[in-house]
Structure 1
Amino acid sequence: MCRDHFLRGYGDLLLAAAIFIVAAVVFRPLLDVIALSMTFAVVAMPLKRRLNRRFGPPLAAMATTITAFALLLILGLFVAGILYQNIDYFRDTVARLASVFGEIQAGGFEFLPFIQPETIWRGLDAGLAGGLEYLAAQVFAVPGFFLRAATFFLVLYLALLFGERVYAEIRQRLPDRLDYAVGEISARSVDTLYAIYIVEVIVAVITFFIAIPFFYFMGYDRTLFFAFITGVFQLVPIIGPSFIMVLFSLLAVLEGDIIRAVLLIAVGYPVVAAFPDAYIRPVLMGGHTGISPVILWIGIFGGLYVMGIFGFVFGPLILTWVITVYRILIEGREPVGR
């Protein structure tokens, strides 16, 4: 009896898991793109549900996929255009920032003896060159690039079209205890992806638009470029745009512009850096408060270090799974019978 119950309850799940593992090994070169598209489908699902009321599932999934493609294309072209137009200016700014550390050390500040200006310059210059080479390699490797892009959007379309139904069917086959665990993990995963894709990106975009008038009235020549860099740094946990304000204020002090340095700290920090974090992010998060910001930070940093750019998403997501499973085991809650 126990053996039959085990086979009925878990045998098919073990078989399905084995098949998924084999498929993951076979499609390993595309696994990161497939997984990323599935996470993207999770946050795009609300749009698909709204469109589904008017157009039906196939057209709604297609319209959502096309919308995602258009947004990503516009964003990619915008970022590439700004970087292309300002590469030389960016390198000059990095050189000036490296000289700031030289001035600090020359002034007797020995709390950073291990930082040398030439080391900073060489590291940032190499990082910029390496990043551009990586992007160029991805773009000019046309067959591979288009294969991965096509895989992303095809999987996105299928996940939007069949994802909810497959998810519901799988949960119906799970034992109560396992179904409860999957439900908890799913809920926390949605919160995490919402925080990564929606909240972080929206806050970065808002920071970008707040920074435009600020840098314009501060008299900076390349307003759009500095606003863009500030918005990008909003995506960097802990550091954020505060790092930009501190560095620019140091440059202003060394250049003898004390008024600009004071304005960068007294106005730029609270308006451009603190306001989005202290007010906009909590408002956008709303009820999605189950994920600690510290967990997101650790997950993003660790994920970027281990998995590269894809770790920005999968790092926090995997940490969320670990913590959720830990809570389920510790709390020992019993699921409600179906």
Structure 2
Amino acid sequence: MYGKLETRTFLAMLVGVSLAFALLMKPFFGPIFWAIAIALIFHPIRERLAKRLGDRPNVIALLTLILCMIIVVIPVLGLVTSLVAEGLSVYQKIQDGELRPGEYIDRVNQSFPAIEAFLAQFGVDFAEVRDRASNAFVGGSQFLAKQALGVGQNTFQFFLGLSLMVYLAFFLIRDGSKLVDLLIQALPLGDERERLLLAKFAEVTRATVKGNLLIAIIQGALGGLIFWLLNIQGALLWGVVMAIVSLIPAVGAALVWVPAAVYLAATGEIISAVILTAYGTVVIGLSDNILRPILVGRDTKLPDYIVLLSTLGGIVMFGVNGFVMGPLVAALFMAFWGIFIREFGEIPGTAVHNMADTATETQQSEKPRQD
């Protein structure tokens, strides 16, 4: 009896201390999460270097981290800096009266009065839509201006987070396999289940980060290029914005180029509008429709609609980290239920059986490589 009391007390204190530690780490969630993502994504490169250089873990981890900085961190920082600078410039032009978003919307309405009539059929007031769109544009540029000011005022905090991410990534790249083995020993779920879930975690994180970021870079570059060729103001800004909104599946960059094409048509630049529409539909649209299922949906083994819903839900719940966290939670949900169905009984229904099959396939495919 006394032994059971000791065990329960210890477990209760273990849970309490673990929760306290989690709360302690909460302010550093972003750097910790991205350090884990970097370690997972660059693990294959680390393994290749290990085969060539032998047993030199510190050198291998350092070389892998330097490669990550060159390929990912520095370009992303450059894009963010460009976005903030361009946004600040746009906000300043709005403040000076050089840009009037409301007038652009009125010009579209004058050229296409059918839009107002169409919205009226559904009880939507065009003037209200105009004001909201104008306020959203002003608010977005104001947000970027505040971010520019905030980065300047909180430079130390920004570089502290970046340094912490790089520091943690080094140790995770170096000792990641040992930490995985330690985690498997600690979790009371059964080694087979733990390896399956950890493999799923690694697989989804790699697929969503690599896939979504690659798609974002491609669509942003393609969008910025056509805006520059058509002599549209702020091509760099809109290219970066398209890269960001392309993280939203199914809609993505169309949130930017469709209104731009409508405005070009409204101002009489029909040829430019047709070129932008064709380019956006064929080039930008197909790059999303072809690459996203290959890079994200296929590797995560999630249906397209689950990827869409989990991405949107993740962005709402976790902010910018949600484009990875959302599909990750969805994949773990599918994996847990797949294990339950396989081990504790059959549940009728095609979707449920597919869920179990997905979990089994993941386990079989990931068993040889424990990354």
Aligned to 1:108: 117
> Structure 1 pair 78/26, CA: closer, same or farther in 2 (3 Å)?
closer
What secondary structure is seen at the aligned counterpart in 2 of 1:116?
Answer: helix
Deviations along 1:47-81, one digit per CA (max 9) or x if unpaired, are 22222223432111122223333431332123312
Amino acid at match of 2:59: L
The answer to whether 1:203 aligns with 2:215 is yes
Alignment of 1:26-45 (within 5 A): 26-45=24-43
Distance 1:27 1:230, change over 3 A: closer
1:270 partnered with 2:282 = yes
Which residue in 1 is equivalent to 2:313?
302
Query: 2:351 is matched with which residue?
Result: none
In structure 2, the CA distance between the partners of 1:39 and 1:78, relative to structure 1 (3 Å rule), is: closer
Task: Check if 1:239 corresponds to 2:251.
Answer: yes
CA contact (8 A) 1:100 1:250 kept: no
Q: Deviations over 1:96-142 (max 9, x none)?
A: 66446755677422244374212221123123312432453244223
Matched residue, 1:162: 175
Amino acid at match of 2:310: G
- For residues 269-302 of structure 1, give each alpha carbon's deviation from its aligned partner in whole angstroms, at most 9, with x where no partner exists: 1112x22123333444596151233333222222
- AA aligned opposite 2:63: A
Deviations 1:211-254 (A, max 9, x none): 35533443435544443333333222221122333212211221
Amino acid at match of 1:79: V
> What amino acid is aligned across from residue 24 of structure 1 in structure 2?
A
Runs of 5+ unmatched residues, structure 2: 346-359, 364-371
Distance 1:212 1:102, change over 3 A: closer
Partner of 1:119: 132
- 1:60 paired residue number: 60
Normalised TM-score (structure 1): 0.81
Alignment of 1:180-329 (within 5 A): 180-220=192-232, 222-272=234-284, 274-284=285-295, 288-329=299-340
Identity of aligned residues (%): 19
| Alignment TM-score, normalising by the size of structure 2 | 0.75
What pairs with 1:72-111 in structure 2 (closer than 5 Å)? 72-85=73-86, 87-89=88-90, 92=99, 94-95=101-102, 98-99=105-106, 102-103=109-110, 107-109=116-118, 110=120, 111=122
The whole-number CA distance in structure 2 between the counterparts of 1:296 and 1:286 is 7
Separation in structure 2 between the aligned mates of residue 166 and residue 15 of structure 1, nearest angstrom: 23
Q: C-alpha separation between the residues in 2 aligned to 1:96 and 1:73? A: 38
Q: Do the aligned partners of 1:245 and 1:269 also contact (CA within 8 Å) in 2?
A: no
- Quick one: distance in 2 between partners of 1:125 and 1:221? 16
Residue 137 of structure 1 corresponds to 150
| Count of residue correspondences | 329
- On the 8 A contact 2:38/2:169 being kept in 1, the answer is yes
SS at the partner of 1:236? coil
Q: Conserved in 2, the CA contact under 8 Å of 1:101 and 1:117?
A: no
Looking at structure 2, the residues matched to 204 and 98 of structure 1 have their Cα atoms a distance apart, in angstroms, of 27
Check conservation: 2:314, 2:323, Cα contact below 8 A.
Answer: yes
What is the distance in 2 between the residues matched to 1:305 and 1:38?
A: 22
Structure 1 pair 294/321, CA: closer, same or farther in 2 (3 Å)? same
1:193–1:317 Cα contact (<8 Å) kept:
yes
Unpaired segments of 5 or more residues in structure 1?
A: none
Computed over aligned residues only, the root mean square deviation of the Cα atoms, in angstroms, reads 3.5
Q: Aligned partners of 1:126, 1:271: CA distance in 2, in Å?
A: 30
CA–CA distance in structure 2, aligned partners of residues 320 and 252 of structure 1: 42
Contact 2:207–2:300 (Cα < 8 Å) also in 1? no
Whichever residue aligns with residue 78 of structure 1, its letter is L
